[in-house]
Amino acid sequence: MFETLQAQPADKILELIQMYRSDPREGKIDLGVGVYKDATGLTPVMRAIKDAEHQLWETQDTKVYTGLAGDPAFGDAMIDLVLGDAVPRGSIAAVATPGGTGAVRQAFEMIRMARPEARVFVSNPTWPNHLSILKYLGMEMVPYRYFDEATCGVDFDGLIADLKTAQKGDVVLLHGCCHNPTGANLNAAQWDEVIAVLQQTGATPMIDIAYQGFGEGLVEDAAATRKVVASVPECLVAASCSKNFGIYRERTGLLMAISADQSATALNQGALAYLNRQNFSFPPDHGARLVTMILNDEALRADWQDELEEVRLSMLGLRTQLAAELQRLSGSDRFGFLAQHRGMFSRLGTTPEMVAKLRTEHGVYMVGDSRMNIAGLNAETVPVLAKAIIDCGI
């Protein structure tokens, strides 16, 4: 039977990783893989995670399954982190998932189960897993404008015009803080306009948030998500712990379904648990338990927040340094957007041909649409990258 299988498109990121590893040149720069790296190029285990793992090793006395929704304490801790008191706890159904992608997959499954004909509005660009999962599930996608190639900022007029075509029963997939792969983010006033359009059209928002704490701070980065869920009758939020807790391989995520009608919470919770059962039964627990321990322990949480702030400031410093170096070399401020973007990523705004030229002539590896991982840089490689960009005529 397997002879009928069709070859699947190669993953561009995995291809880029292999190309980078095969490149014998010293001084090559990897800006493709979306993980945080410190100044030495290492993706470290955070101090609080290490401490929590040690405590867990000493005290954990069973590896028995958790419930279908995962440990309720994990859900409570993450809801407090992401949503705070934006909506009553009784209006939130939640399940643990294998990473943020697992939360996204379960959200799309819930949408399809509730309304098979729903259209999902997706930003252009968005993350490839959004598109591939929707395509696999056979769900209709509607792109909405997001990135302005000329300014390397948000095409907000285009975004609003496109979102106004959504209808009640449609879903609008939104990016939480620092989440769009371009690095361009909506400001507070723009979020207010998006909320007004959602209220006008009746479309249901779904927020994917994986970088809380990487932009302006933990509370500041949650502000837009909290305002959205407080302003609409229903919302889905997919949250990941991979980045801000540095537990990529532990696959730790949470999906939240919020309804202003609290009588719907039990129904939502049952649907989410059912979907977990169909896809993987019980969610992984190790990462979730570590996150729960950190968020509920004053000392662990303080140390985690301190290290997370170090990470945030490091990326902001690299952005500022890169923008300044490019301004010095080019004599213009056309790269100033790099200092304005937030999070791990920025889209340079150049052609695939120029990206290939950066790779072949200078050993600089980034995704073909010119998305680069700012955290892949350090103080020594920033000038190297800046010179390569100018030498290529970008």
261 catalytic residue (yes or no):
no
Chain-centre distance for alpha carbon 380: 27
Task: Give the count of beta carbons closer than 10 Å to the beta carbon of residue 193.
Answer: 14
Find out whether 141 and 131 touch, Cβ atoms under 8 Å.
yes
Q: Measure the CA–CA gap between 220 and 286, rounded to whole angstroms.
A: 28
Q: Which amino acid is at 291?
A: V
Q: Which residue has the tokens 């649409």?
A: 369
304 catalytic residue (yes or no):
no
Strand partners, 92: 258
Query: Which one of the listed residues 51, 148, 170, 208 is annotated catalytic?
Result: 208
Q: Measure the CA–CA gap between 110 and 223, rounded to whole angstroms.
A: 25
Query: Which one of the listed residues 243, 271, 303, 386 is annotated catalytic?
Result: 243
**Is residue 328 within a helix (H) or strand (E), and if so which, with residue range?**
helix 298-330
Q: Measure the CA–CA gap between 341 and 197, rounded to whole angstroms.
A: 24
Find out whether 343 and 178 touch, Cβ atoms under 8 Å.
yes
Find out whether 343 and 315 touch, Cβ atoms under 8 Å.
yes
155 catalytic residue (yes or no):
no
Query: Which one of the listed residues 69, 77, 96, 127 is annotated catalytic?
Result: 127
Chain-centre distance for alpha carbon 383: 28
DSSP line for 245-258: S--GGG-EEEEEEE
DSSP conformational letter for 336:
T
DSSP conformational letter for 335:
T
306 catalytic residue (yes or no):
no
Find out whether 372 and 345 touch, Cβ atoms under 8 Å.
yes
Query: Phi and psi of 240, rounded to 5°?
Result: -120, 145
Query: Which one of the listed residues 210, 288, 339, 386 is annotated catalytic?
Result: 210
Q: Measure the CA–CA gap between 103 and 279, rounded to whole angstroms.
A: 11
Catalytic residues: 127, 208, 210, 243
